[in-house]
Chain A
């Protein structure tokens, strides 16, 4: 990648920035620069200090934080400025876009006013003038500039549109620096690629410095001119993406790259086992609120005549964007909801629960008041549990060791574990019931790349060693490609394509699959590899 040439002075200069919160060091001697028109990527696991760096620049650190070092924005020293001075700079000299588009906008304020407000804070504009300017900014953010759109409220917009509005607000005053903190993590792949395109266009055309924070190296590879890698508050590596890919000898960078590349975990799947899950022609509809007395509302068909199968020892991927009906289908398969039409049949031996599940949120999946041992043994409910408590303890210890934890962990509470460890506990909870099928609902989406890689390894191991069928539901094509033997692609409630993973991803037949693949950012292979 050939970046633009930088001749001017840097927009942002961070020199030996250290931050500690309540005595605990969060950032240690962080130094970096952002040039005009340059996209600087900041990458690292959660808790590595990426967001803290951004907040320090914005002057939005928590009140208990203490800061040392120098922050210079456009030649102006930020450190030592009063809160009032920083407030004047925010929005005018630097803008920020956050991860969650759902909560970044005021739900009661019309779009035009929200953008106009950003302008009026920093310049004495009349309402009408602000309106006109807002319209121009929205147009640049790739949003319709019609009056009707300006009148809309945030809930009438899609996630992608909302994120565009947030970007429009951030750049409304043409700040020389824009900080984007995981701006596309909450978005679908297709929307993500559009929003990333918008950000890079704005940075280039306005010669605006863009500090892009993300955990996704593939996104970096597409966009960033230079990248800094952060680990526990330190910058451990820096360089262009090409340099990092090929020449970095920093172990952490290499580990991140390896984990992000998601090499296929499965080796020679044996999918010839008996069928353990059969979903036949399932329809699931949701009632919509009645809007008229005379016409019954048309129900929302979330799952539309879907059939799929899972064989013993096989890993099946179900991929689709949010709103494609994946979760509705999964709820029907798990017998949490009843389908309007169609049938689910599960086979398994009599002693077991035929299907178990692992959910997305490693924090919400466990009752905080229960010990891990009791949580795992909960799966024994309504099946013939071993009568002897010591036998239950032995089995709990067995599955804990199987997922890479120790038997003693049964005595601890969920909050004593990290996110990755909790997903292991969730898998143990599923395994103990000896199910025929385990369903995974976005089970690695909330995890860092390194942890995600370990969990996927574990699942591949399980699939290889046991007869359990795995149904893996995700929006992430890379994950599905790495783990699944066979894949179903779902769009608006229908299965639009199915087949062996490599066949589907290698030569996709359906336009939607092709669009998904094209929009998914991919890490280029290293030159030497």
Chain B
């Protein structure tokens, strides 16, 4: 039995789908080409032509923002998928096998956990070169232990249920039981974690491109918009406010989504 829809879930779903919709839209259409420079139109205030004005190079800010959403969503989503697709199997195996396998996997996990994530992501992109792909790999790497630990914790609980015992009596092995009984019962837990990691990914991507290690010009990104607007805050504060608000709102929406999912998945007692 599920709890009724709650406010957090509705707000979270609304904001998240809005941002995902914009990102999808940006893949096929933006009001102006975000790459086109037009110095004569630089630093225009919002108008009927440019709803959010133009930046110091005359690019349409709304188009930049939409294209930035595409970049942000892409990087965060792929890094969550990367973390999940490696971390979840690790957690499942560790919980099913216990003993030495568990120890080795989870201690390896702890090693990755021990690094300050964002600093190392900066290091990785600095060493292997900046760009969207390396940003995904760097952020995804730190999603692995998170998913591994959440999966293992949930799976250990499932393994204490008698239905796993019944499956073993039926002759099923640990792998099949993990796939058929354990994983499906962890889906809601993993979805909640995915929403949290997604929001952290959005922040991390913005951070990386802010310091110039994320997506490279001319690919638009929120972090670099913030960076470029920094020197112009007195002249055109809107240039900093707009991408800043975008990051804030998107992360807020994702956090509401995970909180809403958590409350929704919790059966009423």
Interface residues of A (CB under 8 A from B): 334, 336, 353, 355-357, 359-361, 364-369, 375, 378-383, 415, 426, 429, 433
Taking the complex as formed, is B163 at the interface, i.e. its CB lies under 8 A from any CB of chain A?
A: yes
B172 at the A interface (CB under 8 A): yes
Let me know if A378 and B167 touch, CB within 8 A: yes
Contacts of B170 in A (CB 8 A): 353, 378-382, 433
CA distance A375 to B180 in the complex (A): 11
Is there a chain A Cβ closer than 8 Å to B4's Cβ?
no
Q: Which of A355, A359, A383 contacts B166 (CB 8 A)?
A: A359
Chain B's closest residue to A365 (CB) is B162
Q: How far is the CA of A369 from the CA of B180 in the complex (A)?
A: 10
Which B residues are in CB contact (< 8 Å) with A378?
166-167, 170, 172
Closest B residue to A369 by beta carbon equals B184
A439 CA to B66 CA, complexed, in Å: 64
Q: How far is the CA of A346 from the CA of B170 in the complex (A)?
A: 15
Bound-state CA distance A433–B170 (Å) is 9
Q: Is B111 an interface residue (CB 8 A)?
A: no
Query: Within 8 Å CB of A367, what residues of B?
Result: 161, 163, 180-181, 184-185
A382 interface neighbour in B161, B162, B171, Cβ under 8 Å: B171
A-B contact pairs, 26 of them (CB 8 A): A336-B168, A353-B170, A355-B169, A357-B165, A357-B169, A359-B162, A360-B162, A361-B162, A364-B162, A365-B166, A366-B163, A367-B163, A367-B180, A367-B181, A367-B185, A368-B185, A369-B185, A375-B163, A378-B170, A381-B167, A381-B171, A381-B172, A382-B170, A383-B171, A426-B166, A429-B166
8 A Cβ contacts from B160-192 to A: 161-163, 165-172, 176, 180-181, 184-185
The 9 A-B pairs with the shortest beta carbon distances in the complex, nearest first, are: A382-B171, A359-B162, A365-B162, A364-B162, A364-B161, A367-B163, A381-B170, A357-B169, A379-B170
- Which of A336, A360, A380, A415 is within 8 Å of B169, CB to CB? A336
Chain A residue at minimum C-beta to C-beta distance from B173 = A382
**B184: chain A residues within 8 A (beta carbon):** 367, 369
**Cβ-defined partner of A353 (8 Å) among B161, B163, B171, B181:** B171
Interface of A is mostly: loop
Instruction: Write out the residue numbers on chain B whose beta carbons fall within 8 Å of the beta carbon of A357.
Output: 165-166, 169
B171 surroundings in chain A (CB, below 8 A)? 353, 381-383
- What is the minimal beta-carbon distance from A22 to any residue of chain B, in angstroms? 11
Distance, CA A433 to CA B171, complexed state (A):
11
- By beta carbon, the residue of chain B nearest A331 is B165
List, in ascending order, chain B residues with CB within 8 A of A433's CB. 170
Is the CB–CB distance between A334 and B169 below 8 Å? yes
Q: How far is the CA of A382 from the CA of B176 in the complex (A)?
A: 12
A365 and B163 form a contact (CB under 8 A): yes
Q: Which of A334, A355, A381 has the most CB of B within 10 A?
A: A381
CB distance from A396 to the nearest CB of B (A): 14
With the chains together, A355 CA to B181 CA distance in Å? 21
- CB neighbours of A369 from chain B (8 A): 184-185
- Size of the B side of the interface (Cβ < 8 Å), in residues, is 17
A344 nearest CB across to chain B (Å):
14
Complex Cα spacing A59 to B169, Å: 46
A360: B residues at CB distance < 8 A? 162
Q: What residues on B are CB-neighbors of A381 within 8 Å?
A: 167, 170-172, 176
**In the bound complex, CA of A359 to CA of B1 (Å):** 24
CB proximity of A406 to chain B, nearest CB, Å: 22
Q: How far is the CB of B200 from chain A (nearest CB, A)?
A: 29
Chain B's nearest CB lies how many Å from the CB of A520?
A: 27
Knowing that A356-B169, A367-B181, A383-B171 touch, tell me 8 more A-B residue pairs with CB under 8 angstroms: A336-B168, A336-B169, A365-B161, A365-B166, A367-B163, A378-B167, A378-B172, A415-B1
Quick one: closest A residue to B164, CB to CB?
Answer: A367
Interfacial chain A residues near B168, Cβ < 8 Å? 336
Contacts of B162 in A (CB 8 A): 359-361, 364-365
The interface centre, meaning the residue of B168, B171, B172 with most chain A CB atoms within 10 A of its CB, is B171
| Nearest neighbor of B158 in chain A, beta-carbon distance | A367
Cα–Cα distance between A456 and B184 once the two chains are bound (Å): 34
| Chain A, Cβ-Cβ closest to B160 | A364
In the bound complex, what is the Cα–Cα distance between A360 and B165 (angstroms)?
12
Q: How far is the CA of A336 from the CA of B162 in the complex (A)?
A: 12
Cβ of B1: which chain A residues have Cβ within 8 Å of it? 415
Q: In whole Å, how far is B120's beta carbon from the nearest beta carbon of chain A?
A: 36
Given contacts A369-B184, A369-B185, contact A336 B165 (CB under 8 A): yes
Interface residues of B in 135-177 (CB under 8 A from A): 161-163, 165-172, 176
Cβ of B167 to closest chain A Cβ, rounded Å: 6
For residue A364, give the distance in angstroms from its CB to the closest CB of chain B: 4
A357 to B168, CA, bound (A): 10
What residues on A are CB-neighbors of B166 within 8 Å? 357, 359, 365-366, 378, 426, 429
CA–CA, A382 and B167, complex, Å: 11
Least Cβ–Cβ distance between B245 and chain A, in angstroms: 41
Q: Could you say which residues of chain B place their CB within 8 Å of the CB of A426?
A: 166
What residues of B have a CB within 8 angstroms of the CB of A359 in the complex? 162, 165-166
A382 contacts which chain B residues (CB < 8 A)?
A: 170-172
Inside 8 A of A366's CB, which chain B residues have their CB?
Answer: 163, 166
In Å, the complex CA distance between A492 and B74 comes to: 62
CA distance A357 to B161 in the complex (A): 14
For residue A381, which residue of chain B has the nearest CB?
B170
Q: Which residues of A contact B176 (CB under 8 A)?
A: 381
- Which of the residues B163, B167, B169 comes within 8 Å of A364, measured between beta carbons? B163
Question: Which residue of B1, B166, B167, B176 has the most chain A CB atoms within 10 A of its CB atom?
Answer: B166
Closest residue of B by beta carbon distance from A356: B169
Q: Cβ of A355: which chain B residues have Cβ within 8 Å of it? A: 169
A365 to B169, CA, bound (A): 12
